[in-house]
């Protein structure tokens, strides 16, 4: 088996799918630096869940500037940086903006985004985690972040569909699509080991990890 590890891995997927938890475990397995988007630092996020239309624009701009700053730091230290695992893809920022912003707000946001996006380095591998909306709702309730409990199921449905469309067209890096409906690679060591084996084998193109139940027995 090829045991070479990608130097820059991104774990992505809709809210509640488990991307941050998986990113933490992968970083530990690979001895990699961990880059997180730090949603808790966004002072507008809680208000966004209470009043989505009114708070969407400052929420999105804060995330954009925060992520751009992190990506600039990566680019500047690119020759010397250690292996890295992140829980967000800079390219997906525009996905949330398209979903949440009014047309005039999006047009202004997009001008800023197109300037900043030029600094984002491409990952060596993107892991896209999927799960049905009902599973996302259950996981969000289980982790118990207060302002997330106000999230409407139709919003999650729209977000999940936006992710599907985004990754349907994504070609900027090798892509591993993981169906997490019936597996928990964060807490189940057997399932994690199978996923890790798959990650080590991906070198290019689009791949799927959707093990049958008997394969996990």
Q: What's the predicted TM-score (pTM) here?
A: 0.90
> Do the domain assignments include residue 62?
yes
119 burial via Cβ count (<10 Å: 0-12, 13-18, 19+):
middle
pLDDT in tens, the chain (217 residues): 445 677 899 999 999 999 999 999 999 999 999 999 888 899 999 999 888 889 999 999 999 999 988 888 877 665 456 689 999 999 889 999 999 999 999 999 999 988 876 667 889 999 999 999 999 999 998 888 877 887 888 999 999 999 999 999 999 999 999 999 989 999 899 999 999 999 999 989 999 998 765 455 5
Write the DSSP string, 33-60: EEE---GGG-TTHHHHHHSHHHHHHHHH
> Do the domain assignments include residue 3?
no
> Do the domain assignments include residue 128?
yes
**Among 178, 206, 201, which Cα is nearest to 4's?**
201
If one counts the domains in the chain, the total is 1
> Do the domain assignments include residue 2?
no
Taking CA atoms, 5 is separated from 32, 49, 87, 181, 207, in Å, by: 10, 38, 17, 26, 16
SS3 label, residue 9: strand
> Do the domain assignments include residue 169?
yes
Domain membership of residue 69 as a residue range? 8-216
CATH code, 205 = 3.40.50.300
> Do the domain assignments include residue 209?
yes
């Amino acid at each position: 088996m090829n045991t070479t590890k990608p130097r820059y891995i991104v774990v992505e997927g809709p809210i509640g799918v488990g991307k941050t938890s998986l990113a933490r475990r992968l970083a530990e397995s690979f001895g990699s630096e961990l880059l997180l988007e730090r949603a808790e630092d966004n002072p507008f996020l809680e208000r966004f869940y209470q009043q989505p239309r009114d708070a969407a624009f400052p929420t999105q701009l804060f995330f954009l500037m925060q992520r751009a700053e992190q990506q600039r730091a990566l680019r500047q230290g690119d020759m010397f940086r250690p292996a890295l695992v992140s829980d967000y893809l800079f390219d997906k920022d525009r996905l949330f903006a398209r979903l949440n912003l009014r047309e005039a707000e999006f047009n202004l946001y997009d001008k800023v985004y197109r300037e900043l996006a030029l600094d984002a380095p491409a990952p060596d591998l993107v892991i896209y985690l999927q799960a049905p909306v009902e599973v996302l709702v259950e996981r969000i309730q289980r982790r118990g972040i207060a302002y997330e409990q106000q999230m409407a199921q139709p919003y999650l449905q729209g977000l999940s569909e936006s992710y599907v469309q985004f990754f349907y067209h994504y070609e900027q890096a090798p892509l591993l699509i993981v169906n997490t409906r019936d597996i928990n690679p964060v807490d189940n060591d057997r399932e994690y080991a199978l996923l890790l084996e798959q990650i080590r084998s991906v070198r290019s193109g689009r791949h799927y990890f959707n093990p049958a139940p008997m394969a996990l027995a």
